[in-house]
Each structure stands twice: as C-alpha cells, then as structure tokens.
Amino acid sequence: MRVLGIETSCDETGVAIYDTDAGLLADALYSQIALHAEFGGVVPELASRDHTRKLLPLVDQVLGEAGLTKHDLDGIAYTAGPGLVGALMVGACTAHGMARALHIPVLGVHHMEGHLLAPMLEENPPPFPFVALLVSGGHTQLVDVRGLGDYRLLGESVDDAAGEAFDKVAKMLELPYPGGPQVAALAEQGRSERFRFPRPMTDRPGLDFSFSGLKTHTLTALHKLREQDALDAQARADVARAFEDAVVDTLVIKCRRALKESGRQRLVVAGGVSANRRLREALDTALVKMGAQAFYPRGRFCTDNGAMIAYAGAQRLAAGQRSQTLQPRPRWPLAELTPPEA
C-alpha cells in the first residue's frame, strides 16, 4: 500500500511516500525557521500561509522522486492534531481534497503517534512492547507502548515541556531562534563543574516532569552573574551546560524509573529533543548498565516530518481505518487513541 504522508502541524511542511512493502520511497521537508526567526517564535498566521504555498509543490517533488503519479497512491495520511489549528487545516483540506479526487481513503494521524513510531523507519526498528519518551517543544511524556494504538500514559510534564524550557532559556541567553539547538551548541563550550542546577521532581516517586522551576533557577543564576558583572562568554556557556545537564539527568532518571516500573527492556526516544547528543549518550550509558536498549530516529526524523506521518498512517490505513470527516484537533491527548481494529 503506497501512502502519501502530509505534516503541517506547526512550522515545517513535510511530505513523504511510504510503501508497506518497499518502505520509505521519498520524503521532503521545508522549514519555516527563516520566516519566523525575526519574530523569535512561530507566528501562526504566517505558518498557515507558508504551508499553503509550499505543500503542493512538495507533493509533486516526492512523487517525482519516487517515480510515481498521484494515481499510483493507495491512500493519504495527514496530521490531524495536535498543533496550530490553521496549519492543521491546510494539510487536512489538501489531503481530503486529493483523496476525494483520486477516490482513495484518507486518514487523520496523531502527531505524537507519528513521532512515537518514527524509529520504525530505521533498519533496526524496536519490536513492541516498549516505553517511549516523547520529548519536544510541546510535549514531554513517558508512554507504555504495548502495540499500535495501545498506549498507557506513565508520566508527563506538569508545566513546561523540555523543549519549551530549552527555547525559553535560549531567550534568556539572547540566542537566536530556534533556541533549543543553540543552547546545546553553547553548552558544548561550557564547564560542567562550575554550576549544578536542580534535577526537578527526581527526589520523589512518580514519572511526571516539571521544568518551570529549573527555568526560574537558570534566570536567577543569570541575574546574579549580571549583578556581579561576571556574565561573560564563558559564564553564558557554563550556564547553558548546567541547564542542559540538569534536563538530561532528569530525563535519564525518569526513563530508568519507567523501565523498571513497567518491566520493559526497550526505550524509544523521539521528538525534537531526542536529537540532543548529550541525552543520547547519557541514555545509552544508563540503559546498558540495566540491560536495556534505546532506539532513536535518524536526525532528520527527530523534528516534524512527513515520513513519520506516512508510516503511521500506512499502518492504520492497511488495517482498514479511515477518516470520514475533516476535523483537525489542536488539542488531542495521545491516550485517546485506540488500536486500528478496535
């Protein structure tokens, strides 16, 4: 089954074609970073307009790269939520319009299920069951994954997501947009021994996260350095390192706890923050010690992309699931999903 995947949930337009027999045939991504950079964050109206401008040319591009025409498609999957409602509408309307014209099925896919399944596109995909850490600008969640659509939420952030905290700390450090990768790059020059920031909610039982207090702690440290006229380039790098170390340690502690409590031996890490080098290294080291294994998507599939939507949609479309109505869902809890046969 050849499925066209469309991702337009925020500020990246992703399109891909996945074949359930041959695998990923083609994928393309257009990032709006340059468009939103001058505003220091995503402007929803501009995002929607840019998706409208770029989506159909990207569809033509991936069809050409795969050596296919629209009539060779067997189904279309698109991100139905969560995300920016205007951006979601662009993908939804395009997908439903194309599907109706081609007389093929269409399906709205959950954005975070796409991230969760992104490692399935790799040569060594994780078998079910496993624990998933979904860590991005909008979500930090630990999920027990027993099968496609069979998800049990173990813990989540009660305030800022990890990626959101990275972005806010980037603004404190006066780094350009997008902030998360900029903080990680600056932290590479930092010294780990100068500051030690708190590891929030690790001194109590449970699997929930909280990064708001860590963000405040970082802001306080920067204020003190400014008052002492000591906020030079090295100090900024040291603060970035201390912040990153605190986030990484917190995520690792919670992941180890989730694996122990669930009895799983496999951890999937997905979402934009999963590309962080220190996080991957720390998780790999920690999991080896407990006889477990971590699985990650390749770098370009950590952030939003069409390939993960094409894959997730293909699994559900092949099982007979369909969307009858066009209904984007800006807010959509992952726990509401069910297996396709249910």
Residues annotated in the binding site for Fe cation, as ranges? 111, 115, 304
Closest to 241 (Cα-Cα) out of 296, 186, 293: 186
Q: Retrieve residue 57's tokens.
A: 């040319």
Region of residue 40 (left: phi > 0; alpha: psi -120 to 50; beta: else): left
Long-range contacts of residues 95-98, Cβ cutoff 8 Å, at least 24 apart: 95/4, 95/6, 96/323, 96/326, 98/4, 98/59, 98/70
Q: Which residues are annotated as a binding site for substrate?
A: 134-138, 167, 180, 276
Closest to 121 (Cα-Cα) out of 341, 311, 313, 321: 311
In angstroms, the CA 189 to CA 237 distance is: 6
Laid out side by side, the sheet with 266-270 consists of 150-156, 140-147, 130-135, 266-270, 293-295
Are 236 and 173 within 8 A, CB to CB?
yes
Angle between helices 233-262 and 277-289 (to 10 degrees): 40
Closest to 95 (Cα-Cα) out of 273, 317, 340: 317
Q: Which residues are annotated as a binding site?
A: 111, 115, 134-138, 167, 180, 276, 304
Place of tokens 């991936």: 62
CA 167 → CA 89, 137, 196, 264, distances in Å?
Answer: 26, 8, 20, 32
Residue type at 243 in one-letter notation: F
The DSSP symbol for 200 reads: T
